[in-house]
Structure 1
Amino acid sequence: MNVLALLPSFRPSDYLGPVGGGEISNRRLLESLAGRGHGVTVYAFNAGGSNWMGANGLRVIDGGLGSPDLGGRVMGALLARARLHKKLPALTPDVILTTAGTVATGLRASRQNGVPVAVLVRAIRDIMPVAGSAAKTLARRLVYGNAPWTRAPYLIANSRFLRDYCRKNGFNGPGWVVYPPFDDEPLETPWPSSVSKVGMIGSAPNKGVETFISLACRLPQIEFKVIGDRSVRAGERRIEGNVTRVGWTNAPLDEIDSCDALLMPTRYDEAFGRAAVEAIRRRKYVLASSIEGLPEAVGDSRLLLDPYDLDAWQDSLTRLVRDPGAFRAAMDRAFKAAMELGVEAQTARLEQALSEMAFPPSVDSKE
């Protein structure tokens, strides 16, 4: 099976700038898919500035958005997209993947080649209107095209919650769930015998950072760490009382490993909860909000809390510090669920979805 992915960005693993979790998931899945013998080509509007080869022979074509000036980026991307459509017949795709932002390009390629197209949705923000000036909006439309993401005939979401959310917001076609893949080595060590340092990923209000900082004020005997704080330069850290703020990192596992527990007091916009699974696989205790996609990520309801009940968070964290053993049964169950999210298992789910799109056994909707 030949797969063509049309993505806004797809940078190599050694890229030094910030890379989001959705892009990392796409790279791991597509490289793993190539490893199963499929032909995989990625046309990325920003591929880090050059064409390159990924793991297992995955081919990446740069779309030109690496130019240092805006005008050069737009013109380069327009010319590259024109060349792309000339090259499409030679790529002979059986199925085309897009993001919500590149659906227009994907639909045109789909019509040109007579093959199905599916939109990859990795986060709620992917399908929300993009804010910006009129000039930036025009530039995006010139580069990516202009078509609503709901026009894609197929959808692949990274959680059941997100798939259902997309259906509530205008998508009516068949949809599959492919969870974010994890290829880090899970630890077989015991759960920490004591909890004195807790962390969280991200510093945005929707991530619940206000809850996290409030807990730090209430529990001064505990060390708190905000990992990936945008107010701190990448690679640097700032200490404020019992709170350490760490700048952006593309390798958060090192920081997670320095903690005993991870909190995810998310208030909204969490389609799955990748950080929770990463922490669980590294044998860290996790407490998370009981909303959106987090219950799917955590795997045990005893670890879930009301994101707006600060007292409940304080009570649960205090109990965790006093008696970590009381949480180990729940964490064992969460660890078992997290082990099912390995890259091979999720690649198999993606492979099955693509196969059913390219070579449909029937016209029935896929659940």
Structure 2
Amino acid sequence: MALESVRGFVEHGAKVVVALPERGPLVDELRKAGADVTVIPMLVLRKRLLSPAHWGELLGGLVRGTLAAVRVLRRWRPTAVYVSTITLPMWPLVGRAARIPVISHVHEAEASGSALVNKVVYGPHLASRKLVVNSSFSLQTMSEAFPRLRDRTEIVYNGVEGPANPSPPRAELDDLRVLFIGRLSPRKGPDVAIRACNALQARGRSVRLTVLGSSFPGYEWFEQELHTLAASARVGVDFLGFQPDIWPVLDRHDVLVVPSRLDEPFGNTAVEGVLGKRPVMASDTSGLREAARDYSTTALVPPGDDDALADALEHVIRDWDTLRDQAEISAHDASQRHSPSAYRERVAGIVAAACVGTHHR
């Protein structure tokens, strides 16, 4: 979404400088979009830094990051500062001190997390003139920490790019080809997908599951547990690892599952499934609910309930003809609701409006 926002600013004639805490694949994409990129020290707020044992690292990162941010603002003298995450806490504070309007775009939300942690991560954004959130769930979570933020916040659903020419769903199901896309972590629930498909196979249905994604560093143990679980299951499971282009893989499957256990601020993956003309079975929770509801080809199931997910997948098999016929309508609705161009227009307009009446030296 940060890249789409930058594209929107450039399309509206802005000179854009993007400050990043480290180099990565995003750098080349940002430059292609027309932005200048600078990599500087920044404090990236991680939960571990809130532990007393890491307060020295927290303070050191805050000092270095603040000094670097001040240097960037003095060099470029921006009209506005757009912060595309809540994990870079010094930018709203430094921008406010420099009398530059700050717009914070909140993509993160965890209602089940600690109230104290939420106050810490959202607190710096009290200094922002305007806030943008990606879902009603994110707005509610943030407002519970600081109710006064609600009045200066707008909801802008993520812009999600769909495939150019998605293949239509198969005419007949001789088996059910299920796809999971996401990080291999307990919160994303790939093990729930394996157990659900195994349960469906045990009911006499022919099923195969593909797992598309890789684990975070430090979660290799969970990836190994998934392989062990798959090896002991009746259902066939294919692990494809990470692939940058999901669309050819989605084309080869009949249904997408998004079985997250914990809160998601939004559900881009669920929207991608709908855009790809495939039924989507997602957890009935948080931002996933907003992303996947209101389509005739989606269903919501209790988080972590593999039997309920198996039931939903059996419903797909039984109602395949209807779901196949409605896939085009759902994809069209999703393309209108999550148009990247409309997203860019909204975000650029919000930033421009926040700068009205500002006379920055």
TM-score computed with the length of structure 2 as normaliser: 0.74
Cα 1:86–1:126 change in 2 (3 A) is farther
Q: 1:84, CA displacement in angstroms?
A: 4.1
Q: For residues 311 and 60 of structure 1, what CA distance do their matches in structure 2 show?
A: 48
Specify which of 90, 104, 107 is matched with residue 93 of structure 2.
107
Report the AA paired with residue 157 of structure 2: Y
Q: 2:255 aligned with 1:261, yes or no? A: yes
Q: For residues 304 and 49 of structure 1, what CA distance do their matches in structure 2 show?
A: 34
Q: 2:179 aligned with 1:199, yes or no? A: yes
Cα 1:345–1:41 change in 2 (3 A) is same
* Residues 76-95 of structure 1 mapped to structure 2, 5 A cutoff: 82-95=67-80
Once the two structures are superposed, residues 30-81 of structure 1 have per-residue CA deviations (whole angstroms, 9 ceiling, x without a partner) of 133213311211111113399866123211101157xxxxxxxx99996675
Cα 1:35–1:157 change in 2 (3 A) is same
Which runs of no fewer than 5 residues in structure 1 stay unpaired? 1-24, 66-73, 130-144, 362-367
Specify which of 136, 139, 148 is matched with residue 123 of structure 2.
148
Which runs of no fewer than 5 residues in structure 2 stay unpaired? 43-58, 115-119
Q: For residues 81 and 324 of structure 1, what CA distance do their matches in structure 2 show?
A: 56
Report the AA paired with residue 105 of structure 2: L
Q: 2:34 aligned with 1:57, yes or no? A: yes
Partner of 1:345: 342
Identical-pair percentage: 22
Q: 2:358 aligned with 1:355, yes or no? A: no
Is the Cα contact below 8 Å between 1:44 and 1:63 reproduced in 2?
Answer: yes
Partner of 1:134: none
Flag as ranges the 4+ runs of structure 1 deviating above 4 A: 49-53, 74-81, 125-129
Cα 1:213–1:188 change in 2 (3 A) is closer
Specify which of 316, 321, 325 is matched with residue 317 of structure 2.
321
Q: 1:90, CA displacement in angstroms?
A: 4.2
Q: 2:143 aligned with 1:167, yes or no? A: yes
Q: CA RMSD in A?
A: 3.9
**Counterpart secondary structure, 1:97:** strand
* Structure (1/2) with the larger helix percentage: 2
Q: 1:218, CA displacement in angstroms?
A: 1.3
**Counterpart secondary structure, 2:321:** helix
Q: For residues 345 and 249 of structure 1, what CA distance do their matches in structure 2 show?
A: 27
Q: For residues 80 and 39 of structure 2, what CA distance do their matches in structure 1 show?
A: 20
Report the count of equivalent residues. Answer: 319
